[in-house]
């Protein structure tokens, strides 16, 4: 029996690597794509096929998908995992940087879908798995561009799910919470660079302190990989899978509470987190009188 073929973008680190490994171990032929091909040698050693794609370069997407199709003869699963988080106030973020956030997180994902759809329609089957976030359901201060890109993924996936049903193609959204990866470090670095000074400095520190505390309890990447496994292998997949630290609770509260009540609750949580982090910093900086040198 011919193995199903899966294509995973953003496979050079963290979540993407774990997704590729799980799909491969569970019997799929996996092609993993990234800009940083040199970071995927570990996957090559396992037997996973790797290749180059820059999802902000549409020609590279067409080339990568055609190469995979020529090699495998079919594509059954697309996992749109590539993406990044750019933080900073809407006012401070340069519009070109905001556009690039959408180009990678939204337009790149949609171009990947455009590239595989003719193949999947011809087959009469396929599964598209789009990586969203709990931020795709819950707003977050100083993250408008990132949150907006994930809201877009949610809405477009809902439309695509209905649009592609007649062709036997399923569309699934995965909504992770806090997951161990370089994502939070990159997001907080951009937050500090863009809004660490000026009118939003205090808010920036609060958000950064919240992330510092929250990501101490981040889930392992395998949590996301297992959700992708469910989405990829289930005979009748759910429209959404949520998991990882904070995801289910945040999404549930957002559904239950009025918008302003939810905003107030999350601000209280961030304030409490900042107090805890600041207290820890003060304790670390305090000199023990008994060991203080003269």
Catalytic residue numbers read 146
CA atoms within 13 A on the CB side of 181: 27
Alpha-carbon distance 89 to 192, whole Å?
A: 10
Backbone φ and ψ of 125, nearest 5°: -165, 160
Helix, strand, coil percentages in the chain from 3-state DSSP, rounded to 5: 60, 15, 25
**Whose CA is closest to 40, among 10, 67, 61, 65?**
10
Shortest CA distance to 109 belongs to which of 223, 189, 33, 26? 33
CA angle 10, 240, 4 (to 5 degrees): 55
- Of 89, 107, 294, 292, which is closest to residue 201 (Cα–Cα)? 89
């Amino acid at each position: 029996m011919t193995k199903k073929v899966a294509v995973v973008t953003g496979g050079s680190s963290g979540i993407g690597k774990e997704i590729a490994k799980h799909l491969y171990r569970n019997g799929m032929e996996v092609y993993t794509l990234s800009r940083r091909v040199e970071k995927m040698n570990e996957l090559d050693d396992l037997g996973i096929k790797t290749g180059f794609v820059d999802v902000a370069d549409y020609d590279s997407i067409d080339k990568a998908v055609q190469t995979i199709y020529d090699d495998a003869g079919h594509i059954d699963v697309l996992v749109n995992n590539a993406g990044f988080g750019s933080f900073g106030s809407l006012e401070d973020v340069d519009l070109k940087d905001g556009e690039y956030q959408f180009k990678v997180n939204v337009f790149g994902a949609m171009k990947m879908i455009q590239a595989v759809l003719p193949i999947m329609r011809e087959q009469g089957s396929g599964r598209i798995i789009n990586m969203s976030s709990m931020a795709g359901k819950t707003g977050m201060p100083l993250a408008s561009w990132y949150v907006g890109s994930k809201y877009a993924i949610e809405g477009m996936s809902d439309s695509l799910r209905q649009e592609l049903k007649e062709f036997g193609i399923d569309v699934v959204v995965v909504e992770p919470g806090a997951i161990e990866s370089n994502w939070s470090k990159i997001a907080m670095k951009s937050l500090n660079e863009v809004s660490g000074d000026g009118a939003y400095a205090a808010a920036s520190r609060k958000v950064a302190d919240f992330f510092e505390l929250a990501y101490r309890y981040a889930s392992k990447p395998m949590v996301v990989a297992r959700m992708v496994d469910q989405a990829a292998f289930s005979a009748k997949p759910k429209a959404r899978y949520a998991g990882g630290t904070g995801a289910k609770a945040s999404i549930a509260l957002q559904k239950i509470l009025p918008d302003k009540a939810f905003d107030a609750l999350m601000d209280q949580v961030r304030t409490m987190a900042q107090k805890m982090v600041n207290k820890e910093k003060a304790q670390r900086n305090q000199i023990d009188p008994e060991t203080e040198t003269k």
